[in-house]
Structure 1
Amino acid sequence: MITAIDTNILLDILIPDETYLTSSKKILNEYLSKGQLIICELVYAELATQFSDEQELHDFFSDTGIRMMPSNKEVLYRAGKAWKEYVRNRKVALECSNCGKAIPVTCPECKSAVKFRQHIISDFIIGAHALVYAKLLLTRDRGFYKTYFKDLKLAG
């Protein structure tokens, strides 16, 4: 079994985040015992910020058995299609990362809708990469991935 990992699960352990440290370690160990753990190059880049040098980062992946699998054209195409759907359907609201519920935000001064991009293309590449290479993603951003990658199984 191949399982992909989102950045947030690994950051919970590396920073460490007291709220999620135990649960993220537990799920990581559970899926490591079931097979191979992989990340895409964007997760690799996001994690690089937590290490003092490149060798330390390489040692972390070597010690944990996590492998980086580069994205291919299919991953990038699927990410682009999902991104297009997101941009087309994006609401003027915050979106809960757990359930996907939209929460509108307005300016208290002029009452105009506050607009911002909540997800960036890297989120879509991570999702598409997991779908193509693993079919299962360990993440805490379940609402987002459920919406745009319906065939992707999620745990975390």
Structure 2
Amino acid sequence: MIAVDSPVLIELLSNGARADAVEACLRQALVNGRVVVCGTTLAEICASLRGGAEVLEALEEMGVHYSAIEAKSALRAGEMQRRHRQRNPGDSRRIDDFMVGAHALLQCDGLITWNDRFYRDYFKGLKLIVPQA
């Protein structure tokens, strides 16, 4: 099971410049198994693009499913954000990226993202898939 980060899906759903690369990457991931979004990603897509029903319909058409964040993932996200604040005093990075990373690490087999540097730094061992043009 592979998770997808919201900026990647927003690029595809808004038909951005890198939409073709995202589509190819998603198609490959779907061939290999289930592709999911967590609640954080779902909320970010809805806030950026469309209403909830439209987002769910678009994801369903793509074959992307919803996967709830388990307690263990939420706790790991909090631990990683706390570590980030200790390493970077004054940096106010929001919990969103930590939630997505923890969900992908503990509940999935990888993450499709462009933010590979951040996830590699905080979620050691997480398989990262970066869409390539």
Name the TM-score, length of structure 1 as normaliser: 0.78
1:48-101 per-residue CA deviation (whole Å, 9 max, x = no partner) reads 1312x332222112211111111111001110111111111116xxxxxxxxxx
Distance in 2 between residues matched to 1:116 and 1:71, nearest whole Å: 25
- The residue type paired with residue 42 of structure 2 is Y
1:38-57 pair list within 5 angstroms = 38-49=36-47, 50-51=49-50, 53-57=51-55
Give the Cα–Cα distance (whole angstroms) in 2 for the partners of residues 78 and 32 of structure 1. Answer: 27
Kept in 2, the 8 Å contact 1:79–1:127? The answer is yes
Quote how far apart the aligned CAs of 1:120 are.
Answer: 1.0
* Structure 2 residues not aligned, in runs of 5+: none
Match of 2:25 in 1: 27
Number of aligned residue pairs: 129
- Indicate the residue corresponding to 2:77 in structure 1: 79
> Which has the larger share of strand?
1
Give the deviation of 1:135 after TM superposition: 2.6
- 1:12 is aligned to 11
Unaligned stretches of 5+ in structure 1?
92-114
Aligned match for 2:94, one of 107, 120, 137: 120
Equivalent position of 2:108 in the other structure: 134
State, as a whole percentage, how many aligned pairs show the same letter.
26
Structure with higher helix content: 2
What is the root-mean-square deviation of aligned Cα atoms in Å?
1.4
TM-score (norm 2): 0.90
Larger of the two Rg values belongs to structure: 1
